Amino acid sequence: MEKRKREWTNENEEVSLAGVKKHGFGNPNSLSDSQLASSLANQSKRKREWSNEDPSSTSIPSMASSSSNDHNKSYQYDVFLSFSGEDTRKTFVDHLYAALDQHGISTFKDDEKLEKGKKIKDDLLQSIEESRLYIIVLSKSYAASSWCLNELLKIMECHKMNEHTAFPVFYDVDPSDVRKQSGSVGEALAKHTNKTKSEVDKWREALTEAANLSGWNVKNIADG
């Protein structure tokens, strides 16, 4: 069975990483996609419970500044999944969605087949606003999708506000490639030849911000 290496990226601010580790994110080990998904779902459940109990205790700045009114807000979804269906839907994302569901976590996963060039829907943007946590599955084809990139813009906007918190999963991509838009990520982004420089620059900024968050680095490794 193919296994993957699960590890926390260590290039983020120490206080944020310490806060995440304090609340149950374990040490690196080898896991299958389904096992990794189950583990991540369990951590999402803990994160949801933790933020419900005491928002002021978190070391994540976007949550530390939340008001009591925002803390009492009722969210439609616990988790919003942002991903490229091309290379993750039938593998990691399906496992993750099933695991989140098994843990009783209300999760939004867009299953619509999107037409090329179609603009992101208002109701999808609303679903992002009405989700407490975001799991961004950054894969090799993620930056090739303007839909995914516009989702990411909205997610990072919400992440900076109140109790919304985003966690990246670097799925077979190097976090530094996401941060610098190099390698496979740069190649994917370069496909948007019909977009303005302003649009692409906003996407680049969002990718860099996402890559600087504490998250999961998932890489292929050989069995044993």
pLDDT tens by residue, 178-208: 999 999 999 999 999 999 999 999 999 999 9
Q: Which of 37-41, 59-63, 101-105, 200-204 has the lowest mean pLDDT?
A: 59-63
- Is residue 151 part of the annotated active site? The answer reads yes
Cα(91)–Cα(169) distance, integer angstroms: 14
Overall average pLDDT of the 170-179 stretch: 95
Domain that holds residue 190: 3-221
Helices in the chain by DSSP H: which ranges? 14-22, 33-53, 61-64, 68-71, 85-88, 94-102, 122-129, 146-159, 175-180, 183-189, 197-211
Tens digit of each residue's pLDDT (9 = 90 or more) over 51-97: 555 444 333 333 333 334 445 568 899 999 999 988 888 888 888 89
User: What backbone torsions phi and psi does residue 190 show, to the nearest 5 degrees?
Assistant: -70, -10
User: Total structural domains in the chain?
Assistant: 1
The predicted pLDDT at position 127 comes to 92
Cα(220)–Cα(184) distance, integer angstroms: 15
Cα(3)–Cα(86) distance, integer angstroms: 20
Residue 100 maps to which CATH number? 3.40.50.10140
The predicted pLDDT at position 80 comes to 94
pLDDT of 9 higher than 90: no
Q: Is 98 helix (H, G, I), strand (E, B) or coil?
A: helix
The predicted pLDDT at position 161 comes to 85
Other C-beta atoms within 10 Å of 117: how many? 8
- Spot the catalytic one: 14, 151, 187, 199: 151
